[in-house]
Structure 1
């Protein structure tokens, strides 16, 4: 079985890898042009199940990140060495294992739903348990949480967008892949 499989766009599933653009916490592309969305097969199955559930609700999923090379994880750790938000590159990330995905919700017209913060906003406002957010934002976050949990993922408390397989740490870290290359510093 392949370690990683490509996740193409599909009905109800838009791929927009944030680290292939400057629209991320670094302010510059981290992934080289041509980066593709990839996951291990078990995580891919859960993501496609989540996309089907979102579609049944008249929504879609927007994928910001999936498999992440160790070199990219090192870039993020050097920039923000805070284990609440970024896994220490020396220990590895569940993204580097190919079993974590960062997602948001799209409305029926394909516009991102308001989640209260941008993807990759490394502040307390991104935590799941915020009760000081507008009701619509809380509903959107709970809707995403329900879709992703029902599909077989688990969440982490500090990032509304991050979901991973429950047994993520049982998967080995993956070597660099041609599907996602990192821009040289």
Structure 2
């Protein structure tokens, strides 16, 4: 499986890979190495989204990308609800290299207000919420517009999650051991 590393300078993004830190829903690092990878098709769509955001003065901050099935189990064990975490028995789009979690940042590197933080497993994280600040609604709509214009599908429960269309039917699960330098110990 061809996975592309998502990192500057090849991709004009900022990395904040939360699952390599304790700043995530599990409260502990899941990855031992902070690196982001995507399937080649997803990497191409991310590059397109970057091109679309640039003239507007925005960039992307990446929170997560490829997530090995082993890591998906750790998330599921910490938060066993398919409202926000894919059941690892079915497999996650992340575990196929077909999903990215991200937000928009301005020219100074500040995150745009989105109404919740990344991995806020609450109904306020759902797209199209009207009970969050109007500015956050606009920013979510901007993010959604950029990503869908670049060819991504969204997950309605998480404003930060975008994926290729029909990844479960098109792409196999990828083990952490498939990477030259695995993310997990």
Query: Structure 2 regions of 5+ residues with no counterpart?
Result: none
2:133 corresponding residue in structure 1 = 134
Larger helix percent: 2
Q: Would you say the 8 A contact 2:35–2:183 is kept in 1?
A: no
Query: What is the Cα deviation at residue 116 of structure 1?
Result: 0.7
Moved more, 156-165 or 6-15: 6-15
Between the two proteins, the alignment pairs up a number of residues equal to 181
Q: Secondary structure at the match of 1:83?
A: coil
CA deviations on 1:81-108 (whole Å, 9 max, x unpaired) are 1111101111110000000000000011
SS at match of 1:5: strand
What is the match of residue 182 of structure 1? 184
Partner of 2:124: 125
* TM-score, length of structure 1 as denominator length: 0.93
TM norm structure 2 = 0.93
Is 1:18 aligned with 2:18? yes
Q: Match for residue 48 of structure 2?
A: 49
Task: Give the RMSD, CA atoms, in angstroms.
Answer: 1.3
SS at match of 2:96: coil
Structure 1 stretches lacking a partner, 5+ long: none
Paired with 1:157 and 1:82, the residues of 2 have a C-alpha distance of 15
Shift of 1:133: 1.1
Distance 1:160 1:139 in 2: 12
Contact 1:127/1:158 (<8 A) preserved: yes
- Aligned equivalents of 1:180 and 1:141: distance in 2? 33
Aligned to 1:7: 6
